Amino acid sequence: MAKGMIFDIQEFAVHDGPGIRVLVFFKGCPLRCEWCHNPEGLSPKKQLIVTRDRCVGCGICQTVCEHQAAPFALDRCVGCGKCISVCPNGARRLCGCEMTSEQLAKELLSYQAFLELSGGGITISGGEPLYQAEFLIEVLERLRPLHLAVETSGYAPPSVFREVVERVDLLFLDIKHTNSAIHKRFTGVDNDLILGNLEYLKECGTEFIIRIPLIPGVNDNRTTMDTAADLLSDSQGLLRVEFLPYHKTAGAKYSMVGREYQPSFSTESTPRVIHEPFKTRGIRSVVL
Ligand code: SF4
Ligand code: SF4
């Protein structure tokens, strides 16, 4: 049986699929988007999180750490967890919970009656859930007959992408940039796999929603939106496009995982929202 690493389960979500939903966040992602607001989802491993506002600098954590990683040199941290219980202010915790597919499915199925009453279901997000493909597929198979959605960057081998699409009722797919070189500059990977998987999704009939993070000066321009709208114009299962405008609070959690937030785009500008290319092609677009 496959084991996987998750970092959060959230109840009562209403923006990630029909009805009321339970969201599950898988840990680990092969992309490094400069605007990522969940840095604790990037590493596939269990990791230490430190809430610096709670730290009073007493130094007790240093006395138990064998790796010279406490209090804040988290690049040296091995995630042993010894410093957590000694901190008098609860500033330190481990992020990441390893579960079997059976354990996670059992926990999620405990919400079944409530979710079905609202016409809701389960949405699996991340990180990048397809990064733990075997675990994801086993979990999806154990969750029927619930309504199932997965939110993905689409950066996965085509065979994995198809296996997941075949097992969900709804897929959320990001289009971060239509130009491959710019995509690579701001996310660390090119978009060839993603656009190839989009072509399959457009033809397979599964319902899907495209999410476009709007990043000021990166993709909030007419050319990118025209190209995205062109790519989507002959999609069978497309329900709508959802824009997610960048918010400068995106960097709030980086210090907790010992990283600096250093995006190369202007974080002070408000991104432009351009609906027209989608509207002229009969595609509904909304701002979340
Ligand atoms: S034990 Fe807690 S409060 Fe003390 S230095 Fe370490 S993190 Fe800060
Ligand atoms: S969890 Fe990290 S910082 Fe804490 S004692 Fe272990 S190695 Fe040191």
Q: How many domains does the chain have?
A: 2
* Residue 82 in contact with ligand 2 by CB distance below 6 A: yes
**Is the CB of residue 46 less than 8 Å from the CB of residue 93?**
no
Please tell me whether residues 143 and 220 are part of one structural domain: yes
Q: How far is the CA of 92 from the centre of ligand 2 (A)?
A: 9
Please tell me whether residues 79 and 169 are part of one structural domain: no
Please tell me whether residues 243 and 172 are part of one structural domain: yes
Q: What is the pLDDT of residue 250?
A: 85
pLDDT, tens digit, 9 for 90 and up, residues 130-154: 999 999 999 999 999 899 999 999 9
Q: What is the pLDDT of residue 191?
A: 97
* Residue 209 in contact with ligand 2 by CB distance below 6 A: no
Q: How far is the CA of 56 from the centre of ligand 1 (A)?
A: 6
Q: How far is the CA of 72 from the centre of ligand 1 (A)?
A: 9
Q: Which CATH number is 74's domain given?
A: 3.30.70.20
Q: Which CATH number is 106's domain given?
A: 3.20.20.70
Q: What is the pLDDT of residue 154?
A: 98
Q: How far is the CA of 87 from the centre of ligand 1 (A)?
A: 5
Which residue, of 95, 129, 156, is where some domain finishes? 95
* 66: exposed, middle or buried (Cβ count in 10 Å: 0-12, 13-18, 19+): exposed
Which residue, of 64, 95, 126, is where some domain finishes? 95
Q: What is the pLDDT of residue 18?
A: 97
* Residue 86 in contact with ligand 2 by CB distance below 6 A: no
Residue located nearest, by CA, to atom 1 of ligand 1? 87
Query: ∠ at Cα 49 (43, 52), nearest 5°?
Result: 140
Provide the residue-wise pLDDT of the chain in tens; the chain has 288 residues: 999 999 999 999 999 999 999 999 999 999 999 999 999 999 999 999 999 999 999 999 999 999 999 999 999 999 999 999 999 999 999 999 999 999 999 999 999 999 999 999 999 999 999 999 999 999 999 999 899 999 999 999 999 999 999 999 999 999 999 999 999 999 999 999 999 999 999 999 999 999 999 999 999 999 999 999 999 998 999 999 999 999 888 888 999 999 999 999 999 899 999 999 999 999 999 999
Please tell me whether residues 200 and 233 are part of one structural domain: yes
Q: Which of 103, 149, 106 is nearest to 129 (CA)?
A: 149
* Domain with 84 in it: 47-95
Strand partners, 171: 150, 208
Strand partners, 149: 123, 170
Helices then strands, counting H and E runs in the chain, come out as 9, 11
Please tell me whether residues 165 and 254 are part of one structural domain: yes
Residue located nearest, by CA, to atom 4 of ligand 1? 58
Please tell me whether residues 90 and 68 are part of one structural domain: yes
Q: What is the pLDDT of residue 249?
A: 86
Strand partners, 13: 21
Please tell me whether residues 266 and 165 are part of one structural domain: yes
Please tell me whether residues 280 and 202 are part of one structural domain: yes
Q: Which of 240, 243, 252 is nearest to 225 (CA)?
A: 243
* Residue 59 in contact with ligand 2 by CB distance below 6 A: no
Please tell me whether residues 227 and 244 are part of one structural domain: yes
Q: What is the pLDDT of residue 248?
A: 83
Please tell me whether residues 262 and 158 are part of one structural domain: yes
- Distance, in Å, from the CA atom of 115 to the CA atom of 17, rounded to the nearest integer, reads 12
Please tell me whether residues 84 and 183 are part of one structural domain: no
Neighbours of 144 (CB within 10 A): 11
Q: How far is the CA of 127 from the centre of ligand 1 (A)?
A: 28
pTM strictly above 0.85:
yes
Please tell me whether residues 182 and 212 are part of one structural domain: yes
